[in-house]
Amino acid sequence: MNRSLVLPIVIPLLTAVLCLLFFRKPQIQRWVSVIGAMALLVVSLWTLRFIWDEGIQAVQIGNWPAPFGITLVADLFSAVMIVLAGVLGLAVAVYSLDSVDAQRQAFGYHPLMHFLLMGVCGAFLTGDLFNLYVWFEVMLMASFVLLALGGERGQMEGAIKYVTLNLLSSAIFLAALGLLYGLAGTLNMADLARKFASSATASSNAIVTALSMLFLGAFGIKAAIFPLFFWLPASYHTPPVAVTALFSGLLTKVGVYSLIRVFTLIFIQEFDYTHTLLLVIAGLTMITGVLGAVAQNEMRRLLSFHIISQIGYPLMGLGIFTPLGLAAAVYFVFHVSLAKSTLFLISGVIGRLRGTFDLKKLGGLYKAQAWLAALFLTAALSLAGLPPSSGFFAKLSLVQAGLGQGQFVIVAISLGVSLLTLFSMIKIWNEVFWKRPPVLEDVDGGEITLQRDWTWLAPILFLVGLTLLISFGIGPAFEIAAQAGRQLMTPQLYIQAVLGGGR
């Protein structure tokens, strides 16, 4: 039933609409929001199952045939990303119930969150570059408002930087789309891939590669790669933690998804040049991100810099450009989004317990809340890549892929950056959990228990559980990623699913 491919877009839309209809009754919105997020997760898992069984699926919206109408396509990579959206959507929907203040909830927090999820799922599913632009805009509109909602001073400052940079990225994206359409006469991704593959000459390849750099710039800003990342640490620590967790798990990953999609399907003519460039950018992104993180003393800012650093790894997989490299990239994106969002959600709990995110003012939480420390440690060590966590397997397979292609420099960088990541995770651990609290009377800043505050803790447990699941269930989990990598490396499958085999 590939017609139901549209459900991951329709369900968040329906949820958002129902929230709008109950705009004056936030109490009802809360439950609609959680139920909608559950439905999205169920549908996304079902989609993954379906794509796993049946291969790449495509559906033509409005029944207009492929290169002319709008196509939705799901390969395994898309399906995995949609599952990620479902998982994080549910975790954040529950976490928001109490952590987001009543005023924000009354001014449309819930519908906006689901509009954001709709945009994200749309971007993962679309098979048309212009349509991808539209979904980017849907997603950005919602994220602009979510970032600014509440109107605190710091939020406004962050929102201005975020909006300016992302609008610039959209402008570059749109200009690139115009040029590409002028060149090829189509924006359907499968059709583009077919045209470029069949009419490959040296001069046309040069133009296409030049165009691909525009796309690299546009998606690079969204994905926060070196040197276009500076909007991210300037804005991500300002909104409520639930919003940051959702953004960190999904928004930059949409940029990464788009990069992987276009640089495996469309822009593969001169991959010696483009993919080497990607490797260089990957290395620089890892290094600058992690060095930026080392210098931070505010927990959320520190974690924001780690988002950047971790973006380098999937890019490394893309730059290596082998099935194993791409499989590792897919697995890495899933793993890092889980770990990162968990860490942000935990930082929210810490912020609630102690009323600050400043590492200098925190301390002694291990004594007060040992189980919180354990949850933090699981996610943090997974992020750093210690065995037997999911991060270890993700980095191991990236390193294997890199060594297989003789890319020793990037392998060395990725391993060094892992050490620095471990160092800054340990820094948080020492400052927040281990050291003696600076002011003793601050220790009783509040108690948090599973019975009373389950909306704070259940999402964290859920995400940590999933991290453990993909760590210990590495066999099946990596098998899905490996299959996704193989699909990405054989664009013919994608083209065939969209345009049909007969052409």
Partner 1 sequence: MTSLILRTMVRLLLPLLLMFSVFLLLRGHNEPGGGFVGGLMAATGFALVSIAFGSTTARQVLRIDPLFLIGVGLLLALSSGLVTLWLNQPFLTGIWYKLSLGTFGKLELGTPLLFDIGVYLTVWGVTLTIIFALEEVG
Which positions touch partner 1 (CB under 8 A)?
Answer: 3-4, 6, 10, 13-14, 16-18, 20-21, 23-24, 59-63, 72
Smallest gap from Cβ 336 to partner 1, in A, equals: 32
Report the distance separating Cα 288 and Cα 14, nearest Å: 41
- Minimum CB distance to partner 1 smaller for 40 or for 184: 40
Complex with partner 1: residue 16 or 477, whichever CB lies closer = 16
Using the minimum distance from each CB to partner 1, give the nearer residue, 72 or 345. Answer: 72
For the bound state, the minimum distance from the C-beta of residue 7 to partner 1, rounded and expressed in Å, comes to: 8
DSSP assignment string, 404-421: HTT-HHHHHHHHHHHHHH
- Of residues 40 and 375, the one with the C-beta less far from partner 1: 40
**Of 350 and 497, CB closest to partner 1:** 497
- Smallest distance, partner 1 to C-beta of residue 106, A: 12
Residue 17 CB contacts under 8 Å (≥ 6 apart), including other chains: 111
Question: Which parts of 383-496 are beta strand (E)?
Answer: none
Q: How far apart are CA 18 and CA 201, in angstroms?
A: 53
Please state the closest distance from residue 65 (CB atom) to partner 1, in A.
Answer: 11
Neighbouring residues of 177: CB distance < 8 A, sequence distance ≥ 6: 129, 130, 133, 187
Query: Which one, 61 or 443, has the nearer CB to partner 1?
Result: 61
User: DSSP label at 444?
Assistant: G
DSSP class per residue in 102-150: HHHHHTTHHHHHHHHHHHHHHHHHB-BHHHHHHHHHHHHHHHHHHHHTT
Taking the complex as a whole, how short is the minimal distance between the CB of residue 16 and partner 1, in angstroms?
Answer: 8
Instruction: In angstroms, give the least distance from the CB of 434 to partner 1.
Output: 49
Q: Which is nearer to partner 1, 18 or 281 (CB)?
A: 18
Q: Residue 39 to residues 14, 78, 120, 339: CA-CA distances in angstroms?
A: 11, 18, 16, 23
CB of 178 to partner 1, least distance (A): 23
What's the chain's length in residues? 503
Q: Per the structure block, which two tokens stand in for 493?
A: 């499958």
3 vs 49, beta carbon nearer partner 1: 3
DSSP string, 30-47: HHHHHHHHHHHHHHHHHH
Left, alpha or beta for 11 (phi > 0: left; psi -120 to 50: alpha)?
alpha
243, 279 Cβ separation under 8 angstroms: no
Q: Which is nearer to partner 1, 65 or 465 (CB)?
A: 65
* Structure token pair of residue 426: 């340990």
Residue 255's Cβ-side half-sphere holds a number of Cα atoms within 13 Å equal to 29
> Shortest distance, CB of residue 499 to partner 1, whole angstroms?
15
Q: Which residues contact 343 (CB under 8 A, 6 or more apart)?
A: 303, 376, 379, 380, 383
Q: Which is nearer to partner 1, 128 or 431 (CB)?
A: 128
Task: Confirm if 138 and 222 have CB atoms less than 8 A apart.
Answer: no
Query: Cα separations (Å) of 495 from 56, 176, 191, 277, 305?
Result: 10, 22, 7, 26, 37
In angstroms, rounded to a whole number, what is the distance separating the alpha carbons of residues 99 and 403?
45
CB of 14 or CB of 386, closer to partner 1:
14
Least distance in angstroms from the C-beta of 63 to partner 1: 4
User: What is the closest distance, in whole angstroms, from the C-beta atom of residue 501 to partner 1 in the complex?
Assistant: 19
Dmax over Cα atoms in the chain, in whole Å?
Answer: 75
Min separation Cβ 491 and partner 1, Å: 23
Pairwise CA distance, residues 498 & 496, whole Å: 5
